[in-house]
Amino acid sequence: MKRKACLITSSIVGTLAVLAACGCARAHKTPTVPHSTAAGSALQVSSGDRQLGSAGAPLPQPLVMQVNDDQGNGVTGALVQFSGPAGVKFDPSEALSDSSGQVTTSVTLGNTAGRYELTAVTYNKTGRALSVQVPELAAGYQEELGYQVQRKYCSRCHDPESTPEQVSNHDNLAVAPHSFDQGNTYNKLSDADLMAIIGHGGPAMNLSALMPPYDKTLTKADIQAVIAYIRLVSDPPYQAPGVVYAKP
Amino acid sequence: MRTLKNCWNSWRRLFGDPIRAFGITSVLLLIALAIAPAKDHFSEWRHYQHGYLKLIQSRRDAPVLERHFQAGIHQIWLPKLGVVDRCETCHVGLTETSLGDVRMEPYSRHPAIPHSMQQFGCVVCHRGQGAATTVAAAHDSTLAPNEPILPARYDEAACGQCHHADLEGTPTLNQGRELLARYGCVRCHTIKLPDGSAMQPTDAPPPLTHIADKTTREWIYAWLKDPASYAASATMPNFLLSDQEARDISAFLMANSVPKPGDTASLKATSATNADPAAGASLYGESFCASCHAMQNAAGNLVGGDLGPELTAVGTKVKPEWLTAWLRDPRNYDAGTAMPHYRFTDAQLGLLSGFLESKTNSDLLANVHLDPATPEQIAHGKQLVEVYGCAACHAIRGVPKPDNYGPDLSRVGSKPLAQLVFTAGMPRTLPTYLSNKIEHPRIFGPGLHMPQFTFTPAQVDALTTALLSLTDRSYTLPAKMQIAAVGQSSYTPAGKAGELMTDLNCMACHRINGHGGDMAPDLSWEGSAVQRQWLDAFLKNPNTLRPALIRRMPRFNLTDQERTELTNYIMTVYQNPKIDRDAMPQSGYSAEMVEHGRQLFYGKYACQSCHIVDPVQDRGYIGPTLTDVGSRLNAEWIYLWLKNPQQLRPGTIEPNRGMSDDDARALTAFLTMQKGAGSRKSGAGVASLRTSGTKGVGQ
C-alpha cells in the first residue's frame, strides 16, 4: 500500500517535472512572447472589423482592438492574442496593448472566399479569458465582380452613406431600399428570389416599382455576382440551404 | 578480428542451414516486393483522399459526396494548352458546391469563376507543377523553382495572361496596369503584349526646355531631392540624389533652358499683391480647376482631381510672370499639355494667379542656398541627367531620349530566378523579388538607378500582379484566346473647329470616336442627341445637368464666333448615321399621350427615383435633371434612348427597361413637354422649339 502511494506520488512528481521542463523549454525557445504586465476587464473592437478584402491578400485596414478596465479607461500592457480559421495570418499574432489600450494587427485572410470569424482574446485579473469574435470578409472573383457591379448600378440607392464622390440617393426615395448588409431582410430571400427581383424589378416579387429591372442591362453572371456579394456582406451571416432530401 | 568472427558466426546461424537460408531469402524477397505497393498505399495523395472521406462522413449530404468521389489519381490533360494537371487528386472537393463552408485545405470548394476547370486546368492560372503527385513537388519553390504556386493575393495576374483589356472583376490587375502607365514605368521599361503592341504611358511629364521661365533653381533642387516634400501626390519618383548631384542637375537644367517668347507676362489689371483672395478662390472654384488639380484643405486632405499637378504649394514653385502667361495660353509653353485654354480676361488672370501665388510652403526652400553654378557643375549635371535617364520622361534640349533605358519587362512574369539577384534572407520567389524591387529598388546592390516611388502596400500588390501577368505562357497559349487591350484611337477633330477643340482640350475629359478621357460624357453622337439652341447656350454658360456630380464642365469664355463654329461642327459631324433626327416630332403630341407618358414616368417605370422633372416633388439625384429635357434633347434621341440606353452610350447605368414602342412614344411625348420653368404646365403642342429653346438653360 505504502509502496503504491509512493509510486503514485513519484509518478505525479515526474509528470509535473516533465511538464515544467516542457514549459520552460517552450518559453526559452520563443523568447518573443510578450509578458502581460496588466490585465483589462473588457475587450472590444476599435476599428477594422467587417472589412471586405480579397482572398489571400492583406485587409486594407489593420484590425485594432481596445482593452479597457472597469472604468472604461485604456489598459496598457495587456496581452491580446489573435487566432482564426486555417489560412488566416496575423502580424503580430499577439501583442501588448499600447498606452491608449490599443492593439493593432494586420490580417491576411485565407485563400478561399467567404466570411472569416477571427477571435481576439485577452485575460482579466483572475485569468479568465475575454474573447471577442471579429468577422472579416474575403471576396473571391465572383464577390469582387459583384462588388464592382453593385458599386456602379446599385449602391447609389442601396447604400445610405453619401460621399462627395458618390452622393447617395437612398433618402430621396419614397420607399427606402435595404442596405445590402441587412441580413434579416436578404437572408429570407432565396437566390432565385433575388435573381427575380434584380432581373425583373421590384414588382416581380410584389415589392416597390422604384427598383427597376436589370435583366436587359446586366448579364446573368453579373446578377449572380451581385447576389454572391450580398450573401457575403449580409449580417447576420447567410446560411446557404443545404441539400434537401425527401423524407423516407 | 573479434567483430569479423562475430559476423561469421551470425552468418552461419542465418544461412548455415539451407532450409533456413531459403526461408530468410524468401522473407527478404517478399519485403522487397512489398515496397512498391506499400509506397503507393502510404502515398501523400491517398492520405488526403482518406482525409476527405473522413471529412464528408459527418456531413448531411455525405451520400451524394461519396457517390461523386472516385479514388485514385485524377488528371486533366489539355494538350493545346500544355496542361497535365493532377491537382484534383488531392483537391478532391473543388467542384462540390455544397462544400462552401469548408476552409480546410486541400478540401475547399473552388470559388465561382467564369471558366471551367475542365477547359483550362489549374496551372494556367495558379502555376505550380501540375503533373506532380506530392505536395512539395507540386507547390513549393524548392522542388518547383521556376513555377511555384502563385500566392493567392496575386491571383488576378492569371486573368491578365489572356485578358489584356480591363475586366470588371479584376480591380487589382486593372489598377496595376493603370499605375504602370501612369507612373511612367513604361517610359523606361518596354512592355510588349503578345499581339505586338506596346503598353503606352498615360502621364504627361512636362518638357524642361524652357524650365528657367517657369521656376527657380532652388525649387528644382528641392524637388529633385524629394518630390513628395513639395507635393504629397507627386508622381515623379525620388532618385535619392546627393546634395551635390541635385545641385549639378539643377545647374545644368537652368543653364540649358532657353527662354521662349510669350512665356512671361506682366500683371496688368490687378497685381498678385492686391488681388482679392476670396474672389480668386471663387474664380478657381467657378472654373472647376479642382476637376483636374488637387489642393490640400485646412484639414490636410487632398481635394480635387489628379489629371493635373497638385497645387497646394504652387506659389513656391512658379514665377508669377510665368503663371500669368501660362493661364493666358498654356499651349505656348507646352504644346502637349492637357490644360484647356481658358479665355480669361486680364482681370481674371490677375485674380487667379494672385490666388495661386498665395499657395506657398515657406519651409520648402528655407534651407536651400545655392552658389552660382560653375561650368564643371553644369557639365557634371548633364552627365547625371544622362546617367539617370531623365530624358526618358522629360524633353531636355541636347539630351536624346534613351532607348530601352530599363530592362524589357515584356515577359517579366516568367523571369527565371537564376537571372535575379536576391538580398540575404529574402525568400527566393518571383513575387517577393518584384514587390521588393518596386518598394525598395536600390537594395539589390550598388549602381542601380531605378528611383524610389512612394506606393502604398496595395499599390505595390497591384503593380506586382500586373507584372506577374506578363508571362511566357501568354505567348504560348493559342492566339484566339488572347483578348486585346482596348487602346485609344488616333482620332483628332479636323478643320478650324478641330483646332479650337485641341486648344480647349475637349478630349482631356470627353471621349470622341474612341479617343479621349472618361471624366465627361462621350460626344461621338452629341449632334444626334441635343438641340442646336441648347448646345449654343450651354457652351456659353454650361449649366448643371447632374446635381450630384462635383466635376463639371467649366466656362471657357468663348467668343460668339468660336461658339458658333463649335456648335456647327458638333451638330454636323458628331451624328449617328442610324438616327434620323426628324423621325419623331419635337412637339404636337396629344394631351392624352402626354398624360399617359406622365403616368408611365411616375408609375410603371418610376423614373422619379433617379430623375427630376418636377423640382418641387421629385428628388432623384442619379441621372440628369429633366426639367428642361424637351429643349435639350432631340425627340428621336429620347425615344431611342428609352428603348435601349446602352446602344447609344455603352456602359451607361440607366437600365434598359425593354419598353414597348407605345410606352417609349408616350414617355417621349411627356418628356419633350418638359421645357423648363413656366412651360411645364403648358398643354400639348403649345411650346414650340424655337421660342422656348433657351428658356431652360441657366437655371
Give CA angle at B548 (B545, B554), nearest 5°: 55
Q: d(Cα B208, Cα B224) in Å, to the nearest integer? A: 13
* pLDDT given for residue B3 in this prediction: 83
Answer whether B610 touches A (CB < 8 Å).
Answer: yes
Give the rounded percent of residues in chain A with a pLDDT score beyond 70: 83
Q: Judged by CB atoms within 8 Å, which residues 161-200 of A form the interface with B?
A: 164-165, 167, 169, 172-173
Answer whether A57 touches B (CB < 8 Å).
Answer: yes
Q: Judged by CB atoms within 8 Å, which residues 61-120 of A form the interface with B?
A: 85-87, 108, 110-114
Task: Examine the pLDDT at A20 and tell me if it is beyond 50.
Answer: no
Q: Judged by CB atoms within 8 Å, which residues 546-575 of B form the interface with A?
A: 548, 550
* pLDDT given for residue B145 in this prediction: 65
Give average pLDDT by consecutive 10-residue segment, chain B, 699 residues. Answer: 83 84 91 89 90 91 90 92 92 88 85 90 91 88 74 92 92 95 94 91 91 93 94 92 94 92 65 67 90 89 90 92 92 90 90 90 87 92 94 93 91 90 89 94 90 93 96 88 86 91 92 90 93 92 80 88 94 91 88 94 92 88 90 94 93 92 95 73 36 33
Whole-complex ipTM: 0.85
Q: How far is B572 from chain A (nearest CA, A)?
A: 31
Answer whether B610 sits within 8 Å of A224, measured CB to CB.
no
* pLDDT given for residue B81 in this prediction: 87
* pLDDT given for residue A243 in this prediction: 59
- Residue B38 CB coordination number (10 Å): 11
Answer whether A144 sits within 8 Å of B100, measured CB to CB.
no
Q: How far is CA B472 from CA B84, B127, B161, B465, B544, in A?
A: 17, 12, 9, 15, 50
* pLDDT given for residue B665 in this prediction: 94
Q: Tens digits of per-residue pLDDT, A127-154?
A: 888 999 999 999 988 999 999 999 999 9
Q: How far is CA A26 from CA A34, A80, A123, B161, in A?
A: 13, 19, 20, 47
Q: d(Cα B436, Cα B438) in Å, to the nearest integer? A: 5
Sheet holding A89-91: strands in order across? A42-47, A63-68, A102-108, A89-91
How does A4-17 read in b/e, with b if 16+ C-beta sit within 10 Å?
Answer: eeeeeeeeeeeeee
Q: How far is B220 from chain A (nearest CA, A)?
A: 34
Q: What is the mean pLDDT of residues A96-102?
A: 91
C-alpha cell, A130: 475575454
Q: d(Cα A31, Cα B615) in Å, to the nearest integer? A: 69
CA A116 from centre of chain: 5
Give the rounded percent of residues in chain A with a pLDDT score beyond 90: 51
Q: Which of B111, B94, B107 is nearest to B50 (CA)?
A: B107
Is residue B77 helix, strand or coil? Answer: strand
Q: How far is B604 from chain A (nearest CA, A)?
A: 7
Q: What is the mean pLDDT of residues A50-76?
A: 90
* pLDDT given for residue A17 in this prediction: 46
Q: Judged by CB atoms within 8 Å, which residues 223-242 of B form the interface with A?
A: none
C-alpha cell, B627: 426639367
Among A54, A169, A217, beta carbon nearest to B620: A169
Contact indicator for B693, B631 with CB cutoff of 8 Å = yes
β-sheet bridge partners, residue B83: B78
β-sheet bridge partners, residue B215: B318
Question: How many beta-carbon pairs below 8 A join chains A and B?
Answer: 120
**Domains in chain B, CATH or no CATH each:** 2-41 (no CATH), 44-149 (no CATH), 171-202+405-481 (2.60.40.420), 211-379 (1.10.760.10), 489-699 (1.10.760.10)
The answer to whether the pTM exceeds 0.90 is: no
Q: d(Cα B572, Cα B566) in Å, to the nearest integer? A: 10
* pLDDT given for residue B268 in this prediction: 52
Q: Judged by CB atoms within 8 Å, which residues 649-678 of B form the interface with A?
A: 653, 655-658
Contact list in B for residue A213 (CB cut-off 8 A) is 655, 657-658
